[in-house]
């Protein structure tokens, strides 16, 4: 299992001596704490392919496609697959089993997200002239406010490997359930507790997904109905940066 990044509080001979006995991916003794926090880890040995670990789940990896808020395939998504830490994948398998028992399948939009992809988002957000996908994903907002309102940030919990974006697929109807809003919509409509113009069915559908994920050890996000993070995530302070690809986890 990958060793967690060690944060260095100060650079001193004593700290350097301790660091020499630490994990091989610990920051060099001359790095500051701030620099250490910004180090992206490229070791994928504790990650697995969700298609293998959660075979009932449907994969629709939006950042491999051009149907996302950027409008292009996102850097770091080399294949249309999903990766997660072993611990998160095991919990998601249990959630999938519960969904299937209720007549649904989980549909995955995104899971592990490399830091390279996050940087792609940041660069896109800084280009305020590129508004190709505005009418689909942020019609109520000016692109210039995406940083201030927290829709785009320099770090993402997805890069820690235990967060997933997903919805439910209704097996009896052969289609996604109606959540009253699309994945990655920037606005209040996406808040899990939003009722507004939602129908009782749409509210119920959101609650079904939420209950399944909560019962299997995931915590929700208060601004995105589709976003859940393993409560006991194994790498809460580590940000990874290897490609989204089966090859990253030894699957050809």
Which alpha helices (H) appear in the chain, and where do they start and end? 13-19, 33-37, 50-53, 86-101, 115-126, 134-137, 200-215
Cβ-in-10-Å burial (0-12, 13-18, 19+) of 209 comes to buried
Q: Is the distance from CB of 50 to CB of 56 less than 8 angstroms?
A: no
First-residue to last-residue Cα distance in the chain = 21
What does 46-108 look like in DSSP terms, one character per residue? TEEEHHHHSTT-EE--GGGSS-SSSSSPPTTB-SS--EEEHHHHHHHHHHHHHHHHTTEEEEE
Could you list the active site residues?
A: 224
Backbone φ and ψ for 43, nearest 5 degrees, come out as: -85, 115
Distance of alpha carbon 224 from alpha carbon 183, whole angstroms: 8
Distance of alpha carbon 174 from alpha carbon 181, whole angstroms: 19
Beta bridge partners of 85: 47
Q: Is the distance from CB of 230 to CB of 222 less than 8 angstroms?
A: no
**Would you call 40 helix, strand, or coil by DSSP?**
strand
């Amino acid at each position: 299992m990958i060793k967690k990044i060690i944060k260095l509080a100060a650079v001193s001979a004593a700290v350097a001596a301790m660091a020499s006995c630490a994990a091989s991916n610990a920051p060099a003794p001359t790095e500051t704490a701030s620099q250490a926090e910004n180090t992206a880890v490229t070791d994928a040995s504790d990650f697995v392919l969700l298609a293998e670990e959660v075979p009932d789940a449907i994969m629709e990896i939006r950042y491999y496609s051009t149907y996302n808020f950027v409008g292009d395939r996102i850097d770091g998504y080399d294949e249309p697959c999903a990766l997660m830490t072993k611990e998160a994948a095991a919990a998601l398998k249990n959630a999938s089993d519960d969904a299937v028992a209720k007549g649904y399948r989980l549909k995955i939009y995104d899971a592990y997200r490399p830091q390279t992809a996050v940087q792609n988002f940041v660069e896109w957000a800084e280009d305020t002239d590129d508004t190709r996908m505005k009418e689909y994903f942020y019609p109520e907002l000016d692109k210039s406010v995406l940083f201030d309102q927290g829709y785009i940030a320099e770090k993402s919990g997805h890069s820690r490997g235990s967060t997933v974006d997903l919805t439910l697929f209704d097996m009896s109807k052969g289609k996604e359930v109606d959540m009253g809003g699309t994945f990655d919509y920037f606005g209040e409509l996406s808040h899990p507790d939003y009722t507004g113009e939602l129908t009782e069915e749409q509210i119920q559908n959101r609650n079904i997904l939420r209950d399944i994920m909560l019962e299997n050890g995931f915590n929700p996000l208060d601004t995105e109905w589709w976003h859940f993070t393993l409560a006991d995530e194994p790498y809460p302070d580590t940000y990874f940066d290897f490609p989204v690809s089966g090859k990253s986890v030894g699957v050809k």
